Every structure is written in C-alpha cells, then in structure tokens.
Amino acid sequence: MNRRVLLICLIVVTSAGSAAAADAGKQIVLQGGSNPGATACVTCHGVNGTGNAAAGFPRLAGLSASYLERQLEAFRLGTRTTAVMAPIAKALTGSESASVSEYYAHQHPPAPQTQAPPQQLAAGMRLAITGDWANGIPACVTCHGPAGQGIGGPYFPALAGQHASYTVSQIQAWKDGARTSDPINLMKSVAEALTQEQVEAVAAYFASLPALDKNTSAESVDALAELPPTHAEQTPADHSEGFIPPSEAEIPDNEFGRMVWLGKKVFVHTQQAASKYAGNALNCVNCHLDRGRLASSAPLWGAWPMYPAYRGKNDKVNTMTDRIQGCFTFSMNGSPPPGDSKVMTALLAYSYWLAQGAPTGVALPGSGYPDLPDPELAPSRERGRAVFEGNCALCHGAHGQGKKVDGAYWFPPLWGPDSYNWGAGMHRVNTAASFINANMPLGLGGELLTNQQAWDVAAYIDAHPRPQDPRYENSVEQTDERFHDHNCFYGESGGE
Amino acid sequence: MNRRVLLICLIVVTSAGSAAAADAGKQIVLQGGSNPGATACVTCHGVNGTGNAAAGFPRLAGLSASYLERQLEAFRLGTRTTAVMAPIAKALTGSESASVSEYYAHQHPPAPQTQAPPQQLAAGMRLAITGDWANGIPACVTCHGPAGQGIGGPYFPALAGQHASYTVSQIQAWKDGARTSDPINLMKSVAEALTQEQVEAVAAYFASLPALDKNTSAESVDALAELPPTHAEQTPADHSEGFIPPSEAEIPDNEFGRMVWLGKKVFVHTQQAASKYAGNALNCVNCHLDRGRLASSAPLWGAWPMYPAYRGKNDKVNTMTDRIQGCFTFSMNGSPPPGDSKVMTALLAYSYWLAQGAPTGVALPGSGYPDLPDPELAPSRERGRAVFEGNCALCHGAHGQGKKVDGAYWFPPLWGPDSYNWGAGMHRVNTAASFINANMPLGLGGELLTNQQAWDVAAYIDAHPRPQDPRYENSVEQTDERFHDHNCFYGESGGE
C-alpha cells in the first residue's frame, strides 16, 4: 500500500472505531453501565444529551469526547465534587466512560432557546468577546474558541448552547473550590474576578448561541467585527491610575468612525482583514492584548503619542507608519502595508482613537512592556522547557505550534514557520520575558510565574527555529554580527 | 534695432544717468546744495556715507536711493522731525535730493564693528529672525529682508550695518511720534511693543551684520537654518491662555532633534529645502506664521493632534501625511512629497514636536483660522481693491505679485502663476477673509482692518487668476460643479 491508501484506511478504521464506541455508549446512556451504581445517563442528560435547564443538568451533546471523558475522570478523582456524578463516574469502567463520551459527542446539539433580556445579552456578549481587563478578566472566547464553540480536546469546552443555569453553577463551583480540575487555576482566577451580574450575563449570552458544528470561524469573525459598542467599557488597567482609552461606544457614527472600526478589525483579525500583508499566523492582538488597550502589553495609546521617534533598529526617525510597517515586516513576517493603503490608514486611525486625550510626546505609565529586573540565575532553556510544558503548552501546544479551530489558528504559534521571525522584537529574550511576566498565562500576568520563570521560558521559546530575519545577508554569522547585538539566540539557532 | 539691442541701450542709458546723478550728488555731499541752508552732507554722514555712531548719525552708504529720497521728503513734510535735517531737506531741490540719494546708494558700506556682548547679540538675532509673537512682534527680517539687507525701493530699508545708536533713536522716534512716515503705522505698532532691552539688542544685532550687496539670499537662508535656540522662547499667543509649544531650545541634540530641525527648515524655507515639491513661490510659513507656532494662523500644534480625520474635500479619512500632501498639491501648487520621503518625515517630526503635551484628539483654542462672522454687506471686489492698495500692496505688490530680493521672492505673491492654485483652501473667500482678519497686515491682525474690509479684500484677492485646479476635468464649468461648491470665484475666473 502506498502512504495515501494507508492514510485513508486509518481514517476509516478510526471512524469505524468511534461509531462502534458510540453504539456501545448509547446502550450505557439508556440502560446504565455494567457495574452497580452506573445508572443510565438518560435520566438527567436525556437520550440526545440535551440536559435539563430547570434542574441545572448540563447539555452534553456535541461537547468533545475527550473533554467529557476528562470530566468523568475529574468526578472520580474528586477534582469535581457532586453527590450525583461522583458515584456514577466511579462505577463506570474506563471503556464505558470512553464509549458514553463518544456517544454524546456525536449528538447534535439542539437549537438554543433563551428569554434573557437584550441588555443582559449585550453585557454578556461584551464580556465573552472582549473580557473585562480592568478587572483582569480575559475574553471568554480567547480560550473557549470562536463564538464559544470550544477548542476541541480535553480542555476549553464549548460554552455555546449550554444551559445558563449550569454555567452559573459551574462558575460558582470554581469559586467555591468544588471544582478544581482547571489547568493552572485559570478558571478559578476568572471566576473569582467575575461579579454575580457578570456571571449571569455571560451564561445567558452563551446559552443563546447555537452550538455550531464546523467552519464557523468566518461567521464568528464577522460577528466580532460587528460587535456593538457598550457604554460602560473600562480601560484595561490593573494599573488603575493609568491612562483610560475611550470606550468603543464613543466611536462616532461617521466616515472617521468607520475607519476606526476597520482599524480595530485589522488589529484583532489581521489574518482575515489584512491577509495580504500577514506572512504568518499571528494577529496584532496576540502581542497587544485586549485590542491594543491593555496597559503593559504595548498598548496603542502608549505608542501613538511617541512617534515620530528615532529607532536604533533601523537607524532613522520612524513615523508611526514606519513603526507599524516594522511590525508587519518582522512580527507578522509579512510585507508592510503601503503608507497610503486603507489598511494603514485604518490602523493609524484606530491607534489615534485609542490615544484620545493622551498628551503628545509624553510616555504614559503602562506604555510598552514593563522593564523586568535581570534574573538571579542566567536564563535556562532546560528550566524554561519545564515552565513551558506546565503552563504554556496548554494553549500554545506542546511544540509551540499553537492550536487551530476549524482549520484556522486560534491560539498563536510561538515558533516555527507560522510565528514571528528572527527580526521581531519578541525574539529578544528580554522583550519576551517582559511580555510573559506582565501578561502570561492570560489573565494571570505577574501572578503565576516568577521573574526567573519568565526569563527561563522566554529563553526556551526564543531559542526555537522561526522564519529567517528578512534583513538576512550572505550568512547567519554576518547577519548575526550586523543585526543581532542583543539578548537572543539568532547566531545559535537562526540558521535552522 | 531689435528688442534685445534696445534693452541693452536702455540699461546703458539708465546706468549712465545714475552715474551722472551720483557725480552731481558727490558735489552736494562735499559742498552743499545750490540754496542757502543746504549744507554739505559730509559733515555728519561722511564722504562715503559711513555716518557717526557716537553722534547717532546714520550710515547712508548702500541704502536704496528711493528710500533715501523718501526720507528727505519726510523731513520736508514733517513726518520725520529733527532740528538738523528739516531745514537742510527743505533747502535741497528735487533734483539735488535725487542726486545725493543716488550718490550715497552707490557707496560701499563699511564692514561692521561691534563690541556688544554675545548674549545681547543672540537675543537680538532671535528677535530679528523670529520676532516675539507672544507680544505681537513679527520678525524684523520679514519686512527688512534677508539678513536685514533691505527689500529695495522706498520702504523697508536695510538695517544691517546700521549704527546701533541710530536704530535705537529711531525706534524711540516711532514710539514718540517724532517719526510718523511709516506706512499703515507698521513701525509705530512694532516700536510700541518692544521693550527697551529688546530695542537695544536688536539694534546691536543689526549693527553687527555686514550690509551685504547682492546674492545673499542663500547665505542668509543658511544662517536662518542654523539659528541657535534660545532658552526663553515663548509661544505666539495673543491668546494668552492658549497652548504653548515648546521652545526650540528644548529640541534634543540627537537624530530625532535633527529631523525636527530639518522639518522646521522645510517649513520656513520650503523653496530651498523642498524645491522639488514646490510648484510656486510660497513657503509653508506664508500661511502658518511664526514657523507654524502662531495661534489663529493654522498652527501645526493645532493640526497635529486632530489627524487622522475625515475631510469632505477628498471624501476620505486623511492621515497627517495626506493632509500635508494636500498642502503641497494645492497651496504649494506642486507635487506631494511621498509618505516615506525624508521631507515628509521631517514635516511630521516638526509638527509632532510643536504639539508636545497637546492632548490627542482635542481641538485647542487657536487652532486653524478663527471663524469670522458674515459681513454686513456682500463682499465687494471694488471696495477690496481699495483696501488692498492701501494696506497690502506695500508688501505684496500693486499687482499681487509679491516682491523679490536678489531674484528670489521675499514677500509672497497672492495671485498669478507663482501663488496658490484654485484648489487651495485659501482660494475660498471665507478662509482668506479669516486668515486676513486674524493676521494681516503682519503684526496688526484684528487691529487695522474691519471685518468687512477683510471680507472685501479677500474677495478682491481671490477673484484674480491663479494656477488651474489640479483636479481639473474637461472644463471649468464641470470642474466648478464638481469641486467648487463653496464661497469662491472659480467658475468666474478659474479659466483665466
């Protein structure tokens, strides 16, 4: 057999295996498992996994099998504590757990029904899509996928179409410690930051969304771009005395305002809205969190008032246009949008808009990435690997390759051909360490990792191969000598 | 004879006439005039017109003959009152006045000698070259020519090389009313605004300059560009609560600072520093007085914080780069500097620098040109002509053609092939009226002309022919309909 035939056979076998498992699963759903106490799932979750909103039983239909299986494991381990599910999960055998998970994963989720008031839904949508960075809350969709449809795999389940009552109860469980199965305490941290009003709003919003099956990225991107402004938007600032950019509700409804919205779209959905200039899989927002609003994450309102400025990197006075073009050349490994292109005008308009009221030429607190003290120990790639595997791989993949949903990157790759190149600022270990320390893991910046860990993991990440420096001349050695007189691994790894 | 030979003959005849007059003049200088009381000039002014610094007798050598003749006339008329000169001037016949003036105009001015302290000279230079707009004082050189060498003709004499004692006494005479021969009270107004310290400094500075003969524009331009910063520079603001741009002394001594200086050079000496983009005889500073610093004169610090912005003129969101390119296309009747050109970067850097501290997106008082109330009477070109001849022709020429020094424009032309074109903002009567009302005559903005006069003279100026609108399409009628739906004479005059 040649390789293609082998591949097809494998797919057929795998599908057949899943189907068989699902059949076995159905039997358990209807009649229970082989051990005493493994009662039929249908009682609470329904034969099609629709659950029961009034009783707070979750919808299981269409959730990923590995996620469902991991939950059964959590009930067994006690990292999820419920009087009902713990004994059932313990009574199910390993293969029964797998079968029943596979079965429910294959059920078609029902159309959502909601009677939540529009104002609550709008508040929930805002939280889901943009977060509440002033209180350290990242957007839910960052981890739960476009339109809340989940990322696939054992973590980050779909929230779309889930009963609001269940979502509310689970957020409470994270808060109370009744559920501790979240990796690196991500959900506990978020749950503790949410107000009860926010919890109910975001649960209502996700309950109102259809649990989409496939190819929804484009749709959800459109939805994001059309997100209506809210009136209570706060600036991202754990730096509470810092600069407050204007709320999107203040963007005027005119030609200028439409250019600002386009700029935001390009900034957040660079892959879709500026595809011809993007040479990798990143979006501007990957390095400039919260739509370029977040303090200590190189916010646009911090950059706009500081240009034109001289930069040693290209040894000239750079306009803001030059600076943005630099981002596209290096961080985006692409080609710079021309100065008179609509994409550039839009990015300038969006940057300018975010800086409304900021004094020209004044470096605001929270600009750029904060200085990070030198580490006590020289950064170690080996220690960094452990930090990465324990904290970063969850989203960025075991090999730094990021994660895709429906074929498109959702979590950004940190190295390899789809990441920033050897000319980007982020390839400098000190820059990456500073960004990581202030902002990673998402929502836990400065809380989870020590300074030393930030340095170590930055070294680990930045030592990996990535696209060549576009200023490459003749050889890695020569390019290294000319352009890489800073804290980086270019000379060592730039030729890979 | 063909026309060229005729021209040469005319020149020879004219030169011979001047030489003959100068010979006659020398006799009067040495021996006095034909009437009693017309004593020999040599006594006070010397045979070579060097004057006498200690006694306060002015240097006459090299001043223009028409200026000298006009002074003798002023002594006769009593618009200059001195016990010594009045009877002498009255005793000289008309032809003797002309001869003696011609004679002294042909003498070579001596090299200057000065012992003024450097600090005083620096203060004088600043005043001479940039004025003191916070107190309504324009730069002396604006009227007295590059490096104070005079404009030629009966007004605006050379100040370079004049004895300081004499200059001081004359400024006092303007103040006291002992000298009232200044057109439209220009010098009285300036003299009253000057402090005694400023008077002494500027007199000392001009005394220290050589009275240059010819072709000095290039040199003087270089001198202007290299003007060292002072530490006490104030913002132009009769709007005393207005925004204060930083002093040039604060421009840092680094790459960025050098780009700011270049931007200032381009802005003030556009003809020299950005010649390839200038299609007429104007400089940016002609519409943006005091180096782009003056409130109500479209200061750069007012414009910078307001872009990107939508403009109806080109129906798109304009970046600051677009906006500046518009100036070159229309007001400069040239070609726009590319967005990535050094000229553009320099102008952006200079604009940005002037706006240091200005809040992004906030319209500052003094931005643009101030709104001017509608006139009581419809603007009249005929009334405007009288206003022009009485107030504007002095500098801008009887035919709006501006005035040259050593072959290069010093006073800007207001119409004709070397002025702004039919697409420039200034061709709108309301815009010109607003500019004129706020700023013209120079240093007397809002003081000399009534609102009605500003409207009238704006109509007079803007009805004259000028370079075609670069957006011209097919016919004046079609271009008028498409682009000139505003207060202007394009349809009437645009085809001229």
DSSP codes, B434-477: HHHHHHTTTT-TTTSS-HHHHHHHHHHHHTS--SPPTT--S-HH
CB A256 to CB B305 under 8 A?
A: no
| A342-354 and A320-329 helices, crossing angle to 10° | 110
- The reply to whether B13 falls in a domain is no
Q: What is the pLDDT of residue B242?
A: 82
Q: Does B308 touch chain A (CB under 8 A)?
A: yes
Element containing residue A384 per DSSP (H, E): helix A381-387
pLDDT confidence band for B495 (50 / 70 / 90): low
Q: Which of B73, B105, B137 is the last residue of a domain?
A: B105
Domain range for A73 = 20-105
- The reply to whether B183 falls in a domain is yes
* Regions of chain A with pLDDT less than 50: 1, 6-13, 214-232, 236-240, 496
A192-230 pLDDT, tens per residue?
999 999 999 999 999 998 876 544 444 444 444 444 444
Contacts of A308 in chain B (CB under 8 A): 256, 259, 345, 348-349, 352
A387-440 pLDDT, tens per residue?
999 999 999 999 999 999 888 899 999 999 999 999 999 999 999 999 999 999
CB A317 to CB B361 under 8 A?
A: no
Q: What is the pLDDT of residue A356?
A: 97
pLDDT at B240 over 90: no
**Interacting residues of A249 by C-beta distance below 8 A, sequence separation 6+:** A229, A230, A231, A233
Query: Do A278 and A197 have their domain in common?
Result: no
Mutation target for B interface from A244, A247, A343, A360: give the one with most B CBs within 10 A. Answer: A360
Contacts of A322 in chain B (CB under 8 A): 340, 345
Q: Which of B105, B132, B164 is the last residue of a domain?
A: B105
Beta bridge partners of A404: A409
Query: Do B294 and B221 have their domain in common?
Result: no
Contacting A residues, span 311-330, partner chain B, CB-CB under 8 Å: 315-317, 319, 321-322
* Residue carrying the six token digits 């890489």: A484
Instruction: Please give the Cα distance from B238 to B294 (Å, whole number).
Output: 9
CATH of the domain at A276: 1.10.760.10
Q: What is the pLDDT of residue B212?
A: 66
Query: Do B349 and B404 have their domain in common?
Result: no
Q: What is the pLDDT of residue B38?
A: 95
Average pLDDT, chain B: 90
Q: What is the pLDDT of residue B4?
A: 55
Mutation target for A interface from B306, B352, B356: give the one with most A CBs within 10 A. Answer: B352
Mutation target for A interface from B313, B351, B360, B364: give the one with most A CBs within 10 A. Answer: B360
B19-40 pLDDT, tens per residue?
677 788 999 999 999 999 999 9
Q: What are phi and psi of B476, to 5 degrees?
A: -60, -40
B386-410 pLDDT, tens per residue?
999 999 999 999 999 999 988 889 9
- The reply to whether B3 falls in a domain is no
Counting the structural domains of chain B, the total is 4
- Give per-residue burial for A67-91: e unless 16+ CB within 10 Å, then b: bbbbbbbbbbeeebbeeebbebbeb
Q: What is the pLDDT of residue B241?
A: 61
Contacts of A319 in chain B (CB under 8 A): 321, 344-345, 348-349
Q: What is the pLDDT of residue A237?
A: 47
CB A345 to CB B317 under 8 A?
A: yes
Instruction: Please give the Cα distance from B433 to B384 (Å, whole number).
Output: 11
Contacts of B344 in chain A (CB under 8 A): 319
Contacts of B359 in chain A (CB under 8 A): 357-360
Query: Do A202 and A148 have their domain in common?
Result: yes
Q: What is the pLDDT of residue B396?
A: 97
Q: Is the peptide bond before B308 cis (omega within 30 degrees of 0)?
A: yes
Query: Do A260 and A217 have their domain in common?
Result: no
- The reply to whether B253 falls in a domain is yes
Kindly report the number of other CB atoms within 10 A of residue A4's CB atom.
8
Instruction: Please give the Cα distance from B331 to B327 (Å, whole number).
Output: 5
Of all residues in chain B, the one with the smallest CA distance to A342 is B317
Measure in Å the smallest separation between the Cα of A338 and chain B Cα atoms: 9
Q: What is the pLDDT of residue A211?
A: 79
ipTM: 0.86
Q: What is the pLDDT of residue A241?
A: 61
Q: Which of B45, B70, B105 is the last residue of a domain?
A: B105
* Residue carrying the six token digits 């050349």: A329
Number of A/B CB contacts below 8 angstroms equals: 100
Query: Do A47 and A149 have their domain in common?
Result: no
B241-280 pLDDT, tens per residue?
689 899 888 999 999 999 999 999 999 999 999 999 999 9
pLDDT confidence band for B214 (50 / 70 / 90): very low
CB B308 to CB A355 under 8 A?
A: no
A403-405 vs A316-318, strand pairing mode: unpaired
Three-state SS at A310 = strand
Residue type present at position A140: C
Long-range contacts, A467-476 (Cβ 8 Å, 24+): A467/A279, A467/A280, A467/A333, A467/A417, A467/A419, A467/A420, A467/A421, A467/A422, A468/A421, A468/A422, A468/A494, A469/A421, A469/A422, A469/A423, A469/A494, A470/A329, A470/A330, A470/A333, A470/A421, A470/A423, A471/A423
CB A359 to CB B359 under 8 A?
A: yes
- The reply to whether B360 falls in a domain is no
Contacting A residues, span 218-257, partner chain B, CB-CB under 8 Å: 254-256
